[in-house]
Amino acid sequence: MTRAWAVGLDMGGTNIRCAAVSVAGDVLLIEHGPSLTSRQAGAVAENIAAQTIHVLATARRRGLGSPRAIGVAVPGPLNVYTGTVMQAPHVAAWRGYPLRNRLEALIGRKVVVENDANAWALGEYWRGAARGRCDVVLLTLGTGVGGGLIVVGKLVHGRSGMAGELGHVTVNPNGPRCDCGSYGCLESYASASGLRGLIEDRLGLPPSTPLPPQMLDSEKNFSVRALSAQARRGDKLALEAFATAGHYLGIAIASFINTFNPELVVLGGGVAAALPYMRKTMTAQVRARAFTAMAAQAKIVRAALGPRGGVVGAAYAALHPPTRS
């Protein structure tokens, strides 16, 4: 007997994860490959298609047969109805790029595309921290900040599927410039790039000056994990940076609570792993700014699925494709 399943693919800044996910949400097989985001628009899509085709072949070889559906999660706001990526932080060449059409032509099957943070929200809703919860706000605190909103058990897509850019709500109108072009977005604080900026600012370093070596990984890149290790050792600069990130994260969460009256706020991504160093300032702002009755109902928890959230959610999106009202 063949188990019914779907492909879930999640393209990150450096890696692609591609999985066969059963209709019950179990990962049956998962493969990893490079993301090749710096290439031309078409080459990035060809790489996604090649890794999908590879998983299709592996699945067939293992007796899983054909999938019911194929879901692909990518960064950046995209129109889920037309399958067009408006802009993607790591793929400069994707501006109004018809990703779904291109993937369908390359793979020879229907494809559903979804924003990566939205996919993660669906994954947490299906099999993670938000299982059985109907009104959920998910924030992915990674290199940038993404978001996914679930209202009465459905992802909020908005007019064209670009809703949920929760990293780009203003938390400080006079704050630092954000990659999106605005100022003082949540992403300017509670992301890896935001933390890096806070430290540069604190040290008075001009951008792209090397940071202190204890904040870098083995490849000399700024590392939230290294910064967390510093905070664990009691380093004042690291603790202050996390406290500031937590402060603005709390301001944003308070606004989301007053807006959505969620039962759960789920925090995922590398920066969420540093929650112990952000929780005090975050909680203080939520208490000061959210309506008490709503704040009392909104638990703030870590995501449960980790890096598999995206593939599980992409498969869910494929199995429950968005329908325009």
The residue to which tokens 């938000």 are assigned:
130
Angstrom distance (rounded) from CA 29 to CA 321: 22
Among 92, 233, 288, 321, binds its own copies (CB under 8 A): 288
Among 170, 200, 212, 270, binds its own copies (CB under 8 A): 170
Is residue 149 a contact point for its own copies (CB under 8 A)? Answer: yes
Using rule CB under 8 A, residue 216 touches its own copies: no
Closest by CA to 160, choosing from 96, 256, 109, is 96
Residues 64-83 that bind its own copies (CB under 8 A): 77
CB of 255 to its own copies, least distance (A): 4
- Interacting residues of 169 by C-beta distance below 8 A, sequence separation 6+: 185, 186, 252, 255
- 98 vs 262, beta carbon nearer its own copies: 262
Give, in degrees to the nearest 5, the angle at Cα 150 between 145 and 156: 85
Residue from the set 30, 156, 284, 304 that interacts with its own copies by CB under 8 A: 156
CB of 63 to its own copies, least distance (A): 38
Q: Tell me the two tokens of residue 31.
A: 């493969």
Please choose, out of 170-178, 190-198, 207-215, 306-314, the segment that lies near its own copies by the rule CB under 8 A. 170-178
Tokens 């938390």 belong to which residue? 171
By CB under 8 A, is residue 251 in contact with its own copies?
Answer: yes
Stretch that binds its own copies, among 13-21, 35-43, 161-169, 206-214 (CB under 8 A): 161-169
Nearer to its own copies, 193 or 223 (CB): 193
Only one of the segments 60-68, 215-223, 250-258, 311-319 lies at the binding site for its own copies (rule: CB under 8 A); that segment is 250-258
Closer to its own copies by CB, 20 or 252: give it.
Answer: 252
301 binds its own copies (CB under 8 A): no
Residue with tokens 């990674």: 142
Q: Answer whether 117's CB lies under 8 Å from 147's CB.
A: yes
Q: Which of 62, 159, 202, 232 binds its own copies (CB under 8 A)?
A: 159
Size of the site for its own copies (CB under 8 A): 50
From the list 40-48, 153-161, 190-198, 207-215, the region that binds its own copies by CB under 8 A is: 153-161
* 132 lies in the site for its own copies, by CB under 8 A: no
What are the tokens at 96? 């109004």
Contact 123, 252 (CB under 8 A): no
* Interface of this chain with its own copies, residues 252 to 271, rule: CB under 8 A: 254-255, 258-263
Kindly state the smallest distance separating residue 150's Cβ from its own copies, in Å. Answer: 10
- Measured in whole angstroms, the distance separating CA 24 from the mean position of its chain's CA atoms is 22
In order of 5, 43, 79, 198, 306, the CA distances from 76 in angstroms are: 26, 18, 10, 24, 19
Q: What phi and psi values does residue 173 have, to the nearest 5 degrees? A: -60, -25
- Residue 249 burial (C-beta neighbours within 10 Å; 0-12, 13-18, 19+): buried
Nearest to 72 by CA among 323, 304, 303, 321: 321
CB of 31 to its own copies, least distance (A): 32
User: Which token pair is 206?
Assistant: 């001009």
In DSSP terms, 139 is beta-bridged to: 147, 267
C-alpha span between 265 and 245 (Å, rounded): 17
Q: Does 31 bind its own copies (CB under 8 A)?
A: no
The count of other CB atoms within 10 Å of the CB of residue 96 is 11
Question: Which of 23, 50, 86, 216 is in the footprint of its own copies by CB under 8 A?
Answer: 86
Residues near its own copies (CB under 8 A): 77, 86-87, 134-135, 147, 149, 151-154, 156-166, 168-173, 180-183, 248, 251, 254-255, 258-263, 288-289, 291, 293-294, 297-298, 325
